[in-house]
Amino acid sequence: SLGSPLFLEVGPGQTLTRLAHLSTRAHSNALVLSSMRHPQEDADDVRVLLASLGRAWLSGAPISWDAVHPTPPRRVLLPTYPYERQRFWVEPGRASLSSLADPLRKQPHVADWFYLPSWKRSLPPRAASSSPRRCLVFLDALGLASSLVSRLEALGHSVFTVSPGSEYQRSGPRSFTLNPALGGDYERLLTALQVQEQPLDTVVHCWSVTADERAARDEREHFEHTQERGYYSLLFLAHALDTLGGHTPLRIEVVSNRLCDITALEPAQPEKATLLGPCKVIPQEYAHLASRCIDIVLPEGGVSPSSALVGQLVAELEADAADPVVAYRGNQRWVQAYEQLRLEAAALPGPTLRQHGMYLITGGLGGVGLLLAEHLARTVQARLVLVGRTGLPSREHWPEWLSQHPSEDPTCQRIRKVQELEALGAEVLVLSADVAHLDAMRAALAQATGRFGPLHGVIHAAGITHGTSIFSPLRDVGRPESELQFQPKAHGLYVLDTLLRDSALDFCVLLSSNASVLGGLGFVAYSAANLFVDAFAARQNKRGGTPWISTNWDGWQVQQPEPRAQVRTSMDRYTMTAPEALDAFQRILTRGLGCGQLVVSTGDLQARLALWLQRDAALPGTAEAAASAPHARPHLKTPYAAPATPIEKELALIWQELLGVEQVGLHDNFFELGGHSLLGTRVASRLREVFQVTLPLRSLFQSPTVGQLATLVEEHLAEQVDPEALAELEQLSPDELKALLDAGT
Ligand SMILES: NC(=O)c1ccc[n+]([C@@H]2O[C@H](COP(=O)([O-])OP(=O)(O)OC[C@H]3O[C@@H](n4cnc5c(N)ncnc54)[C@H](OP(=O)(O)O)[C@@H]3O)[C@@H](O)[C@H]2O)c1
């Protein structure tokens, strides 16, 4: 609302400048300046102050020049223009959309942020070279993969197979069993295959091709069983590949049925949707791995899969299609798409919200939950039920709590927020319950309807947004982390469905994330959990009655717990301010209900999909684009300093190549040079190749300059040195050492 605000930090240090930067990131017109240098910066104080003064003046700020120059200023001659002779020629054929505007920028109009997931017909894939492959096929119980294996072998490919069993076993020269629940079994399998002559180049994972088993198990058991054959199987496979190292390109082709909801031929099972999480995230975290999913329909009544279906799969496996999700329905090939919708603003509060309506918000005391509660309080003076596991002290203890705790105490902040909601005309009931526990939620709902009467709408915002299950590299995400994510997003939805099945509500809005659409580094479990939310809402919405909708969001500008605040991600540029997000939310309520799922992407979703899922080399920001059009080092805050040590030089070369910058200096910041987390994974994998050190991606966020990263690499290399070998080396004469080096030992 400030237009083009200017913030000036007055006093030593730059802490407030950084905080202001964080809060105004979405505000491209905001200018944030500090008046003094950073304590660790080696710069002249007067120079820093004058530079800030100059930038303030350039932005139009009124400067009191009399105060700056008590004596009248005099004119000086400026040096003439230095002709630096740098070429900025636009090469013919390179006038791509990237040169016109950054296709990955945040779009200015909220109306342009909405996308409807859909499917579109596509031509069969173009055949690539059919050189013999070395495949590992995960056999399903229905015979599809066995038919596929016969066809692949007939075509001259070398095939190994693995079936689920009670323990790891080599059951034949080319066949294995493993226990899907044991991550270690995957490692044993890959180790056994590694000793064979050639590395694998293709995995065909068919364990998610199943008969309809829902009736045979209860929901929780069915969910768990489906994860074991799908999501966890892919996760453990990726762990094993990570542990065994190796950088040979490998494609993981995941074949499933009942995953995609395209025609009425076969209803989708939301439990299977989670496997798309690893499918999207594995290639993002490991540059040498590719992965995608092919969904099929099996013939009814246990009939063997048709030769045509097996032929379609072979054609897919032999092609080089980049479509991350493909589905076959009969002879038709479909690919997943997202259609942009314009949702114009509707007059507030719109037809869907009722004056004094009664609304349940799960995760209601969280950042987003409280913003939505405020929106409902402000617009319709709602009766609000806010549910979370933690809850608040009982009301009579609030004054005491407020007086005895500092204002930054989270409980104090939540109590004050509830008081603000009530001051806006809302009635608020805060209840403590785990949304994944049926009895607790039944009791909470009974208490809520007992106090406020019938329920009119539900917003499911319960979710885990910090801790080890999110922003963690895939290798650190196992069953406990995944279960944490699945509790509110999967088991919580089963509970809500059970409790609300007989109620006719105005809406049931689920808060999902764009991580389910785009994946994202460190998001494997979060993405999977949100994929379940999307698929569950789509299924519920198809049943009629209460409109269910899953809404996929970019970041909301809400207060984040400390550790998250330190992590910069490529998603940050898409963060919505609170008014923008509430505007989008209101547009969905008034215009978008009935869709089942709506994606809210503040950046052009097609460009983001092309970058994140299809790795479109024509987009700015990809290593391929950078390599084909290197540019001069931009003007940075730090002057150029040449890398000196061999490690620094090698690192600078890697950055130059991946970022497309002609010269990278020792103190240049990866992110200021245009780096983002997807390129960060490329850096991490090059470090593995070149130095044989494995650094988590977060190292790059914590040590973002060549110099800092080189120190980290040196520390890791030092840890790997065998002290005995070092002692032996120390005994050698310079000539002996030189002879060893010349021999490359
Ligand atoms: N913030 C964003 O930028 C963003 C972006 C896209 C999507 N989303 C989605 O929006 C939702 C809200 O995000 P947020 O930023 O508000 O997160 P948040 O501040 O962490 O709040 C989430 C709330 O959910 C509650 N919760 C977690 N597990 C629960 C369970 N089993 N039963 C009941 N309550 C539970 C937590 O309270 P207790 O721990 O006390 O239970 C917490 O108050 C999440 O689902 C998230 O995935 C957020």
Q: Which whole number is the average pLDDT over 32-44?
A: 81
Output the pLDDT for position 136.
97
For ligand 1, say whether the CB of 522 is within 6 Å of any of its atoms: no
Return the higher-pLDDT residue of 64 and 636. 64
Dist CA 257 CA 262 (whole Å): 12
* 513 Cα: distance to centroid of ligand 1 (angstroms): 11
What's the confidence (pLDDT) of residue 657? Answer: 87
270 lines ligand 1 (CB under 6 A): no
pLDDT value of position 564: 47
Better-scored residue on pLDDT, 719 or 350: 719
What is the DSSP annotation of 507-535?
A: EEEEEEETHHHH--TT-HHHHHHHHHHHH
CB 369 within 8 A of CB 375: no
Atom 12, ligand 1: residue with shortest CA distance: 461
For 577-628, how does the pLDDT look when each residue is reduced to its tens digit (9 = 90+)?
Answer: 999 999 999 999 998 898 999 999 999 999 999 888 887 655 555 566 666 6
Give the whole-angstrom CA distance, residue 237 versus residue 189. Answer: 10
The ligand 1 atom nearest the CA atom of 436: 31
Largest CA distance in the chain: 96
Which domains are present in the chain?
6-68 (no CATH), 120-340 (3.40.50.720), 345-559+583-612 (3.40.50.720), 623-725 (1.10.1200.10)
At residue 95 the predicted structure's pLDDT band, cuts being 50, 70 and 90, is: very low
Phi-psi sector, 205: left (phi>0), alpha (psi -120 to 50), beta = beta
CA dihedral 204, 208, 212, 213 (to 10 degrees): 130
- Ligand 1 atom closest to the Cα of residue 462 is 24
Q: Is the CB of 369 under 6 A from ligand 1?
A: yes
Q: Which residues of 712-741 are buried (b: 16+ CB within 10 A; e: fewer)?
A: bbeebeeeeeeeeeeeeeeeeeeeeeeeee
Asked whether 387 and 433 are in contact (CB, 8 A), the reply is yes
Task: Please choose from 389, 484, 486, 536 the residue to mutate so as to test ligand 1's pocket, defined by most ligand atoms within 8 A of CB.
Answer: 389
Which atom of ligand 1 lies nearest, measured to the CA of 434? 32
Average pLDDT over residues 235-239: 97
User: 207, 233 in Cβ contact below 8 A?
Assistant: yes
Comparing 92 with 456, which gets the higher pLDDT? 456
Does residue 518's CB lie within 6 angstroms of at least one atom of ligand 1? no
Token pair 């054609």 is found at: 315
Q: Is residue 556 in contact with ligand 1, taking CB distance under 6 Å?
A: yes
The CB of 362 under 6 Å from ligand 1? The reply is yes
Average pLDDT on 529-536 reads 98
Minimum-distance ligand 1 atom for the alpha carbon of 390: 40
Q: Which tokens sit at 129? A: 């070279």
Which string of b and e fits 46-74 if b means at least 16 CB within 10 Å?
A: eebbeebbeebeeeeeeeeeeeeeeeeee
In the numeric block, which tokens belong to residue 378? 């402000």
Q: Work out the mean pLDDT of the chain and round it to a whole number.
A: 88
Task: Please name the residues in contact with 514: beta carbons below 8 A apart, sequence gap of 6 or more.
Answer: 520, 552, 553, 554, 571, 574, 599, 600, 601
Q: Could you give the CA distance from residue 251 to residue 282 in angstroms, rounded to a whole number?
A: 10
Give residue 639's pLDDT.
86
Ligand 1 atom index nearest CA of 489: 45
The pLDDT score that the predictor gives to residue 547 is 96
Calculate what percentage of the chain has a pLDDT beyond 70. Answer: 90
Residue 462, C-beta contacts closer than 8 angstroms, at least 6 positions apart: 362, 363, 366, 387, 388, 435, 488, 489, 492
Q: Give the angle subtended at the CA of 581 by the CAs of 578 and 585, to the nearest 5°.
A: 135
Question: For residue 556, which atom of ligand 1 is closest to its CA?
Answer: 3
Mind spelling out the 3-state secondary structure of 83-129? Answer: CCCCCCCCCCCCCCHHHHCCCCCECCCHHHHEEEEEEEEECCCCECC
The residue that leads in pLDDT, 21 or 200, is: 200
Residue 306 is predicted with a pLDDT of: 85
Higher pLDDT, 624 or 371: 371
Contact 266, 295 (CB under 8 A): no
Taking only the tens place, the pLDDT of each residue in 425-445 is 999 999 999 999 999 999 999
- pLDDT tens digits for 309-327? 999 999 999 887 788 999 9
Q: 25: CA distance to ligand 1 center in Å?
A: 22
pLDDT value, residue 571: 67
What is residue 519's predicted lDDT score, i.e. its pLDDT?
Answer: 94
Helices and strands in the chain: count of H runs, count of E runs: 29, 19
For position 565, what pLDDT does the model report? 41
pLDDT for 329 beyond 50: yes
Work out whether the CA dihedral 601, 603, 605, 608 comes out positive or negative: negative
Q: Give me the pLDDT at residue 279, please.
A: 97
Does ligand 1 come within 6 angstroms of the Cβ of 435?
A: yes
The yes-or-no verdict on residue 199 having pLDDT over 90 is no
Atom 46 in ligand 1: which residue has the minimum CA distance? 463
Kindly state the DSSP code that residue 142 receives in the 8-state scheme.
Answer: T
Residue 484 Cβ inside 6 Å of ligand 1? The answer reads: no
245: left (phi over 0), alpha (psi -120 to 50) or beta: left
Mean pLDDT within 398-424:
95
- Residue 286: band (very low, low, confident or very high) from pLDDT cuts 50, 70, 90: confident
pLDDT at residue 711 greater than cutoff 70: yes
Q: With H, G, I as helix, E, B as strand and everything else as coil, classify residue 154.
A: helix
**What is the reported pLDDT for 224?**
95
Mutate to test the pocket of ligand 1, among 464, 469, 550 (most ligand atoms within 8 A of CB): 464
Q: Would you say 317 and 325 are in contact if contact means Cβ atoms under 8 Å apart?
A: no
pLDDT of residue 302: 66
The response to whether residue 520 sits with its C-beta less than 6 Å from ligand 1 reads no
For residue 84, name the pLDDT band (cuts at 50, 70, 90). Answer: low
pLDDT in tens, 648-664: 999 999 998 888 888 89
Q: Which of 22, 360, 368, 564 to mutate to test the pocket of ligand 1 (most atoms within 8 A of CB)?
A: 368
- Alpha carbon of 529 to ligand 1 centroid (Å): 13
Q: Is the dihedral of CA 273, 598, 294, 263 positive or negative?
A: positive
> How many CA atoms within 13 Å lie on the side-chain side of 682?
19
Residue 622 falls in which region: left (phi positive, over 0), alpha (psi -120 to 50) or beta? beta
pLDDT score, position 25: 65
Contacts of 647 (CB under 8 A, 6+ apart): 691, 710, 713, 714
Q: What is the pLDDT of residues 117-157, one digit of tens each?
A: 999 999 988 877 678 889 999 999 999 999 999 999 999 99
pLDDT at 560: 57
What is the per-residue pLDDT for 163?
98
**pLDDT, position 631:** 77
Share above pLDDT 90 across residues of the chain, in percent, rounded to a whole number: 57
Residues 246-258 have a mean pLDDT of 91
- For the segment 395-399, the average pLDDT, to the nearest whole number, is 95
Residue 712 has φ and ψ, to the nearest 5°, of -65, -45
How far lies 743's CA from each of 246, 410, 580, 638, 650, in Å?
25, 63, 64, 41, 22
